[in-house]
Structure 1
Amino acid sequence: MDVLIVNVALPTIAADLGGNMAVQQWVVDGYTLLFAALLLLAGSLADQFGAKRIFLIGAALFGAASLFCSFAWSMMALVAGRCVLGVASALLLPASMSLINEASPNPRYRAWALALWGAGGASASAVGPLLGGLLTPIHWSLVFAINVPFCLAILAVAPHIAPSPQRSTRFDWIGQILALIGLSALVAGIIQVGSAGFSAPSTLTLLVAGIVALAMFVYSQTKVSSPMMPLGLFRVRGMQVALQIGFIMIFNWYGMVFICTMFLQNELHMNPFAAGLVFVPSAFVTIVGNLMGGRIVTARGSKFSITLGLAIMIAGFLFEFLCARPIPVWVIATGLSVVGFGAAITTPAAAGVVLKSVSASQAGIASAMFNTFRQVGGAIGVAVFGVIATFLPSLDLALRAVFLASALLLAYVLAFEFLRWKDAPMTAATAESVA
């Protein structure tokens, strides 16, 4: 919810606090970048200090950061608050799944609990744009303040949560630091291309620093005894497919939502409420797709589900790209719904591929890698598509470029899947966990 509700409010926030396209990108990417970069560390902390403790710390920090954002006096203060929100989200996500696992020793009960967990996320995606449209006209600060009651409710029921076990774990601190520096510098460099140009010294410095840090990160993973991202997993064809799907799908979606919001409010001059309504049909269609996705995987296998989902998403993006100028609102809403439905079918299949591709002892780290690639894709997608928008004469053309680029990237993944990966039969345990 916190991503989509803020996207709807961004034009109003910029009108009040100021800030060009690059600063608005950081309002989104400050959150997603820290979220992505710290997921693996947060999972390790949940194991070492107990999932309950880390979950409650994350909830308290999320509430405090949301309150800070609601009182932000400048765009720089808001970006800082969004970065803290990203840290809090990283603490919450793996700890929440660990709590479900601890509270649900029965596999069927656990599968149902995880389904409810997923439905909560899908419902939040549905109401996020609508709430953003309702609250922004009152005051944009409410899109952040609305998080506070939820966090207080979590803390209120904390005494009823069973204590979590603590385990002694080793963590790759060198890898974590290099990954954080590399990703932050790379995303900052991409955003800087749009505001200062590719040849500007600041742009080149950030891009080079990011590339060097990420290269050092990859090298470090071959030298440490407990790497945060085992490179051997990249040689597994199923993992190659799943990681590319996770990265490109969120790369496309976050970037598209960012530019689409700008187009609806800045070029079509829609109010925030009307702009938020455009995203609502896709969110509810996504809920239906999530319910169908697990069943399709168990009935027809991961490869069929991924092929079907990717094809539907490509069709949705091409439908939007080929329509007349300017892009009608109903076309955007319909195309978003088609893309969302395809993504909902693809995601559980890709998650199942992750579980099938590795041993049980590596399932945790493989799942963390999958989620990390997804969030990194979202941060880079907002940065790249925001840069594209600054170089094109209109947001209509920028949105068309986003649709075409998204379709081509998904077509590449579909070709890779056909040529280099053969699906393996799904076990009953894996099917149950995916469902």
Structure 2
Amino acid sequence: MSVSSVSKLSSNLTTAAAAVASFLAGMDVLIVNVALPSIAKELGGDMAVQQWVVDGYTLLFAALLLLAGSLADQFGAKRIFIIGAALFGAASLFCTFAWSMMALVAGRCILGIASALLLPASMSLINEASPNPRYRAWALALWGAGGASASAVGPLLGGLLTPIHWSLVFAVNVPFCLMILAVAPHIAASPKRATKFDWIGQVLALIGLSTLVAGIIQVGSAGITAPATLALLIIGLGALVAFGYSQAKVAYPMMPLSLFHVRGMQVALQIGFIMIFNWYGMVFICTMFLQNELHMKPFAAGLVFVPSAFVTIFGNLLGGRIVTARGSKFSITLGLAIMIAGFLFEFLTPQPIPVWIIATGLSVVGFGAAITTPAAAGVVLKSVDAAQAGIASAMFNTFRQVGGAIGVAVFGVVATFLPSLDLALRAVFLASALLLAYVLVFELLRWKDAAIAAVAAESVA
């Protein structure tokens, strides 16, 4: 076999392994939602504990993304990628045989750490294995499709496996991890770079996010005036304030505060946070509603999410064309408006909410999100210098994942204070529409301010 053939084979295998990793990281957020009622029946646990089964994963995933990206640069993306895949497989086996809810939550936290190692390293590997820009674009599209397809496969696979036994929603990860490890010897070695990292900021961010989310969840189970709740909220907010202060003082901040003054970053970060805040929180409550209130079987509940996933994949493909033809402002405005319409459509339906309304509304919201997300990501890259593109992209993805963790916590608390899951789901739909309306107004005003500033600058010149 010629050198070029070997290189092409290595590049294709690297892309395939990276796409599988992207699929795994996305699937593990959603596959567990369908299984939660069955898990709770066997292992016990109230709403708060079930929230931690989801948030144990998303929170560690979000909080460690920036650290994992730095580790991939310092020790080589291939090494971190292999460690992430091995840890993901081991944590999946641990969850498979979990003997209690606390053990399962611990396993989910380890899975979140593994995902944080996998995802940035997988993207770096594609960049290293694809020197040709055209091939790199195709490889990144395949990598993105892995994550997007997880939205369809996750709930559906969860619905198929849960009736056999809930543990299979974790065991199914193991063959994928073995596939990645089998391909690993064919992945080219990664370069190592000397990098500086903000360890103080990482520790403060992890403490702050973990205790804040724990405090929010405690509001639902113990009340906001309980000493434990107040302590967690105070520690969380205090640590996040200290984190913000440290970012202004350290030499190499993990989240440079200067980027928050950039108009495009302000818009994109709010869009990323609120969109995933709404989506993860809604999926969590919606799954509970379908199985606990409508008494649907896990497989049937999983099917409700499938149309939205396929619509989302189509929307991703269309979104790129809309950005190219009409620009980011038009795409973001259109996408947010579609999402608001989808949430209001679901909120205004008669009680109880019919299943077909939920499936249709989810599809409308997913379509709007698919148009908005590529445009918002593009705004991030256009708003900063090339030297800051990596950290800006990491901030965008971190805000998205943090939004998801807090969304599950907040909407789970809302559900505990309302008399029915139908009302809780309606509250989620209304709150989501209002939050997106705020983002839409903010986005339009920021672009208006930028246009006025540009006109003023031209008149002075």
Cross-structure match for 1:297: 323
Matched residue SS, 1:421: helix
1:121 Cα deviation (Å)?
A: 1.1
Matched ranges for 1:37-48 at <5 A:
37-48=63-74
Q: Distance in 2 between matches of 1:304 and 1:424?
A: 15
Q: Distance in 1 between matches of 2:450 and 2:314?
A: 26
1:381-418 residue CA offsets vs partner (Å, 9 max, x unmatched)? 00000000000000000000000000000000000011
- 2:77 pairs, out of 51, 58, 70, with 51
1:112-155 residue CA offsets vs partner (Å, 9 max, x unmatched)? 11101111111121111111111000000000000000000000
- 1:13 pairs, out of 36, 39, 53, with 39
- 1:174 pairs, out of 193, 197, 200, with 200
1:238 Cα deviation (Å)?
A: 0.3
Consecutive aligned runs of 4 or more in structure 1 exceeding 6 Å deviation: none
Cross-structure match for 1:428: none
Cross-structure match for 2:181: 155
Task: Name the aligned partner's letter for residue 246 of structure 1.
Answer: G
Cross-structure match for 2:270: 244
Q: Distance in 1 between matches of 2:235 and 2:264?
A: 31
Cross-structure match for 2:118: 92
Cross-structure match for 1:25: 51
TM-score (normalised: structure 1): 0.97
Task: Name the aligned partner's letter for residue 190 of structure 1.
Answer: I
Cross-structure match for 2:352: 326
| Ranges in structure 1 where 5+ consecutive residues have no aligned partner | 426-435
CA RMSD of aligned residues (A): 1.0
Matched ranges for 1:198-209 at <5 A:
198-209=224-235
Q: Distance in 1 between matches of 2:449 and 2:288?
A: 40
Cross-structure match for 2:458: none
Paired residues in the alignment total 425
1:148-183 residue CA offsets vs partner (Å, 9 max, x unmatched)? 000000000111100000000000000000000000
Cross-structure match for 2:62: 36
1:421 Cα deviation (Å)?
A: 2.2
| Ranges in structure 2 where 5+ consecutive residues have no aligned partner | 1-26, 452-461
Verify: 1:115 aligned to 2:141, yes or no.
yes
1:284-320 residue CA offsets vs partner (Å, 9 max, x unmatched)? 0001001111111111000000000000000000000
Asked if the contact 1:313/1:343 (under 8 Å) is kept, the reply is yes
Verify: 1:408 aligned to 2:425, yes or no.
no
- 2:93 pairs, out of 67, 72, 92, with 67
Matched residue SS, 1:228: coil
Verify: 1:350 aligned to 2:376, yes or no.
yes
Q: Distance in 2 between matches of 1:231 and 1:31?
A: 27
Q: Distance in 2 between matches of 1:424 and 1:334?
A: 37
TM-score (normalised: structure 2): 0.91
Cross-structure match for 1:430: none
Identity %: 89
1:311-347 residue CA offsets vs partner (Å, 9 max, x unmatched)? 0000000000000000000000000000000000000
Task: Name the aligned partner's letter for residue 59 of structure 2.
Answer: L
Q: Distance in 2 between matches of 1:216 and 1:231?
A: 13
Matched ranges for 1:232-311 at <5 A:
232-311=258-337
1:70 Cα deviation (Å)?
A: 0.5
Task: Name the aligned partner's letter for residue 409 of structure 2.
Answer: A
Q: Distance in 1 between matches of 2:68 and 2:88?
A: 14
Task: Name the aligned partner's letter for residue 103 of structure 1.
Answer: A
Asked if the contact 1:65/1:84 (under 8 Å) is kept, the reply is yes
- Which structure would you say has the larger Rg? 2
Q: Distance in 2 between matches of 1:106 and 1:413?
A: 37
Q: Distance in 1 between matches of 2:238 and 2:147?
A: 36
